[in-house]
Amino acid sequence: MAVKKVLLYPDPLLKQVCTEVDVVDDEVDDLLQDLVDTMVDAGHSVGVAAPQIGALRRAVVVDVSHSKLGKKQKNHGLICMVNPEIIEREGETIVREGCMSVPEYTGNVTRAERIVVQFLNREGKLQVLRSEGFEAIAIQHEMDHLDGKLFLDRVSSLKTDLFRRKK
């Protein structure tokens, strides 16, 4: 559909809790395609959530298959999720995360190593997906956006765990 402008912190829309999608219809499919187009256009992104483009709906896309870390691990390719919910978490790891909405910084964040997530796909069918490693981390990161959370909210110490990106 279209590449959308990514909202930047401290835009107040990024702190809003998104509403559930009642029906996966053409409008929702268009939103998912906008998310995919925006992610691909960025060139370096492995995921985008609807609130990052100003849509307060529970929808995210993730695709780690083209990233350095994603190529090294098993992944599911492009995943389009509506109303995603993590139903199992296992393990814990600290990872350095960045975000298109916070382009100047990265930070150390604690995430589950493995997750099981259920969601509606683009056809509105319930899916259950097991994910681990970098893909699981990317899914958790994008899902945080649906609850108005940024990785900045998960950094233990802004003094020791937040880093300015090198230009």
- For the record, the structure tokens of 2 come out as 């279209």
Name every residue whose Cβ is closer than 8 Å to that of residue 38 and which is 6 or more positions away in sequence.
Answer: 3, 4, 6, 45, 48, 52, 53
CB-side neighbour CA atoms (13 Å) of 16 = 18
Residue 163 CB: number of other CB atoms within 10 A?
14
Burial of residue 8, with CB atoms counted within 10 A of its CB: 0-12 exposed, 13-18 middle, 19 or more buried: middle
**Residue 123 annotated to the active site:** no
The residue annotated as part of the active site, out of 27, 88, 97, 142, is: 142
Distances (CA, A) of 123 to 23, 25, 59: 10, 8, 13
Residues with a known catalytic role = 142
